């Protein structure tokens, strides 16, 4: 009988530990047979210790390879040219990439066949195999790194008084049905490869750095670190109303919180770049990789519609009470600026999403005045000669109706140019700032 080594055929004169690499390669490629007792040139020499060889082979396949390939393997003997040969038959597995347990899902542990040779798989090939097996959902795909720890996550779950054991990890999708960590696990782990880059600039352009940091570790740790750093730069401007001091933050705290959560929960983690947070004198910019999810528009998200890119990650944040309900982030951000003249802005592209939070204390009053209507300017001019004016005085001075006078005064009040004093019949307005 004359056979040759090829893509699906491998010869071994005796059993060696390296046979498991070929088993992995066959399982990851097109399957194949390993003939023990045949030399590289095809000469049959047979196996003397058949039972011992078969035992070593089956034990190695069972103990040294993950995921479990035993259902796709068979070890038997065959008489070739009058001699006993041990044959290990491997089918192509359904859970590739298969890998050596002690090496992990990386080129040192994952092998494929190229012609008659067994070679390490490239990282690109490994990722392709993972996607073909696990699908396109990033969260559900097996993590290449299986040596993960979860100290930060355990702490967060303890604070929320929520159990965090193996059953919960399986329910959440941190561990898959094969007992392996998913990419969701990677994001939550202390070994998370994605980061947040934080920078503070002087003025309103990206020219002069004042401060910069990069936050790493579990996404939950990055969330706390980034929020704390932004809070350091969220200054207050104080005004006095009578005897009472009123502090006005540069940025509404709820807007910061919701924008930061949005940046972490909705970003596309199949991109390797960092989430970017940039603070300028007049704004904060949050740039997240991944544009709008297919099927949803800008108007949809502004009214609270939500298609989650990372459903399982959002569920973890929900269980930890970091988010109250899906789709409420943008309406909350908008509502937090309800009493301010400046408003948040959103910019989107195919691969990125930017939210701009304006500094409520930074816009010069003159810039606001330049955008007033003629009638609003006329009302404002009345304060040049009067410390306070009433609605009725506005009606008479401008010869306008009561409803229009109310609208004009309310508009100037919203823009922080006038301030309402008292109420009812004694309501009067004073110039502000």
Please give the average per-residue pLDDT across 90-103, as a whole number: 90
Q: At what angle do helices 219-232 and 253-265 cross, to 10 degrees?
A: 150
Whose tokens are 């494929």? That residue is 112
Average per-residue pLDDT in the chain? 87
pLDDT over threshold 90, residue 270 = no
**pLDDT grade for 188, boundaries at 50, 70 and 90:** very high
Burial 142-180 (b: 16+ CB within 10 A, else e): bbbbbebebebbeebbeeeeeebeeeebeebbbbbeeeb
Distance separating alpha carbons of residues 20 and 111, to the nearest angstrom: 10
Contacts of 194 (CB under 8 A, 6+ apart): 187, 219, 269, 272, 274, 275
For 57, the enclosing helix (H) or strand (E) is helix 50-64
pLDDT of residue 397: 87
The span from the CA of 374 to the CA of 381, in Å, is 11
Confidence of residue 327 (pLDDT cuts 50, 70, 90): low
Instruction: Name which of 105, 93, 108 is nearest 61 in CA terms.
Output: 93
The whole-angstrom separation of Cα 239 and Cα 235 is: 14
- The pLDDT assigned to 401 comes to 92
Q: Does the pLDDT at position 110 exceed 90?
A: yes
Distance, in Å, from the CA atom of 320 to the CA atom of 332, rounded to the nearest integer, reads 19
What's this model's pTM, rounded to 2 decimal places?
A: 0.67
Whole-angstrom distance, CA of residue 135 vs CA of residue 369 = 55
How far apart are alpha carbons 320 and 318 in whole angstroms? Answer: 5
- What confidence category does residue 346 fall into, taking pLDDT thresholds of 50, 70 and 90? confident
Task: Give the pLDDT band of residue 300 (cuts 50, 70, 90).
Answer: low
What structural domains does the chain harbor?
Answer: 9-134 (3.30.950.30), 138-188 (no CATH), 196-308+316-358 (3.30.565.60), 365-431 (1.10.10.10)
Q: What is the pLDDT of residues 19-47, one digit of tens each?
A: 999 999 999 999 999 999 999 889 999 99
- List Cα–Cα distances, 394 to 70, 101, 369, 399, 407, in angstroms: 88, 82, 18, 8, 11
pLDDT confidence of residue 164: 93
Can you give the pLDDT at residue 246?
60
């Amino acid at each position: 009988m004359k056979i040759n080594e090829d893509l699906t055929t491998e010869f071994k004169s005796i059993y060696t530990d390296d046979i498991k690499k070929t088993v992995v390669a066959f399982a990851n490629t097109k399957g194949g047979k390993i003939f023990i007792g045949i030399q590289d040139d095809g000469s049959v020499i047979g196996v003397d210790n058949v039972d011992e060889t078969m035992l070593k082979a089956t034990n190695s396949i069972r103990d040294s390879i993950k995921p479990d390939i035993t259902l796709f393997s068979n070890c038997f003997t065959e008489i070739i040219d009058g001699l006993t040969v041990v044959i290990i038959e491997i089918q192509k597995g359904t859970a590739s990439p298969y890998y050596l347990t002690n090496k992990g899902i990386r080129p040192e542990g994952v092998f494929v066949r190229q012609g008659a040779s067994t070679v390490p798989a490239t990282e690109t090939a490994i990722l392709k195999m993972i996607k073909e097996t696990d699908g396109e959902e990033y969260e559900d795909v097996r993590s290449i790194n299986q040596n993960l720890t979860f100290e930060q996550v355990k702490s967060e779950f303890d604070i929320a008084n929520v159990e965090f054991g193996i059953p919960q990890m399986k329910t959440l999708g941190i561990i898959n049905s094969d007992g392996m960590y998913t990419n969701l696990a990677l994001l939550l782990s202390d070994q998370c490869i994605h980061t947040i880059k934080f920078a503070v600039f002087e003025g309103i352009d990206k020219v002069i750095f004042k401060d910069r940091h990069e936050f790493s570790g579990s996404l939950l740790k990055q969330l706390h670190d980034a929020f704390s750093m932004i809070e350091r730069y969220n200054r207050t401007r104080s005004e006095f109303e009578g005897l009472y001091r009123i502090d006005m933050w540069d940025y509404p705290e709820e807007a910061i919180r919701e924008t930061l959560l949005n940046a972490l929960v909705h970003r596309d983690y199949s991109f390797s770049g960092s989430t970017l947070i940039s603070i300028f004198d007049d704004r904060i910019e949050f740039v997240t990789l991944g544009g709008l999810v297919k099927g949803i528009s800008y108007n949809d998200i502004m009214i609270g519609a939500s298609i989650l890119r990372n459903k399982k990650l959002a569920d973890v944040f929900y269980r930890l009470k970091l988010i109250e309900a899906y789709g409420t982030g943008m309406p909350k951000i908008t509502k937090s600026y309800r009493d301010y003249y400046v408003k948040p802005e959103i910019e989107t592209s195919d691969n990125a999403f930017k939210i701009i939070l304006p500094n409520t204390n930074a816009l010069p009053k003159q810039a606001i005045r330049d955008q007033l209507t003629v009638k609003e300017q006329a009302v404002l001019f009345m304060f040049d000669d009067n410390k306070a004016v009433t609605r009725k005085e506005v009606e008479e001075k401008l010869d306008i109706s009561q409803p229009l006078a109310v609208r004009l005064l309310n508009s100037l009040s919203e823009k922080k140019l006038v301030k309402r004093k008292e109420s009812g019949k004694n309501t009067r307005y004073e110039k502000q700032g």
